[in-house]
Amino acid sequence: MSYVGPDFDPPQPRRNRRRTLTVALAALVPGALLGWVVYEAVSSPGDGGSSGNAAVRLSPSSPSNTAPTISATNDDKPPGPTPTPESTTTSGPLKGKVVVIDPGHNPNNFQHTAEINRKVNIGTNWKECDTTGTSTNDGYTEAKFTLDVAHRMRTLLEKQGATVEFTQDGDRSWGPCVDERAQIGNKAHADAVVSIHADGAGTGQRGFHVILPGKVNAGAANTEPIVTPSRDLGERIAGSFVRVTGSAPSNYVGDGTGLVTREDLGGLNLSTVPKVFIECGNMRDSKDAALLTSGAWRQKAAQGISEGIANFLER
């Protein structure tokens, strides 16, 4: 999405500084009084004790109860390195909750095709360990996108008191494989796991969708205990993602609901804790790609997903 910059007025003739200062002060006094009056009116106890913060309204299809809004910035760069344990927030509404973020793919996978092409057991059958992921037509990779959004999410969730773990942080030479990604969430006894992705569909196919686990009971896979809570998690993420980013649900899968159920993904089949995937948009569509490559939009995506997680954990 492009933004038109401000128009600049030509330089104005120099004015008498003392006169300008006098006029400015005269204008500020009534303005300050008016601001005080408005503040008193908004914060008065007549609105049920509200402090004047605007209520957040979800779309009709979104969950009815929402967690407190997590503040966000529009910085084009993701947050810095993970804080040390001493500086990590230990209090907040998500204190005691464990969230595992699974940034899809790995920036180094393309250098290790033999390793990522080996087959692993996903319960129902055998599939490749991992893939390289997709990219925009200009070369912005899915692996770079997922890590950026994951870093932004970690900052937002840790500020709420959550303990956040990653399945990978670009610190491995390749992988992990899809079965290991599931095991990381299981071993952490995560309260919620979200796998971050961006799709590689055809031009004109736009929008996001959240992938939910279907009922699978084969071999090492048994998703029956997590199907219901995972759907709850996915619905809350979809609702907040629409509200925060303004993006529409996918126009090519999910029948406009933004929700898709699958039984062929090892990361879901082997999970024993609530888990969903989110395809944040289509990297191969120019309009979606313009959003996915925007730092400001990625911040909104991180906030939308994080608020959905917080909503689920505080239910």
Q: Catalytic positions, please? A: 279
Question: Cα separation of 231 and 210, whole Å?
Answer: 9
Peptide bond between residue 6 and the one before it cis (omega within 30 degrees of 0) = no
Q: Do strands 209-213 and 275-282 pair parallel, antiparallel, or not at all (unpaired)?
A: antiparallel
Partner residues linked to 262 by β-bridges: 213
DSSP-based three-state secondary structure for 258: coil
Are residues 201 and 284 in contact, defined by beta-carbon separation less than 8 angstroms? yes
Per-residue CA distances from 310 to 143, 204, 234 (Å): 25, 32, 12
**Quick one: which H or E segment has residue 114?**
helix 113-117
Q: Which residues contact 211 (CB under 8 A, 6 or more apart)?
A: 234, 260, 261, 262, 265, 268, 276, 277, 278, 279
Tokens 């959004």 found at? 149
Q: By C-alpha distance, which of 256, 236, 247 is closest to 294?
A: 247
Question: Cα separation of 200 and 282, whole Å?
Answer: 6
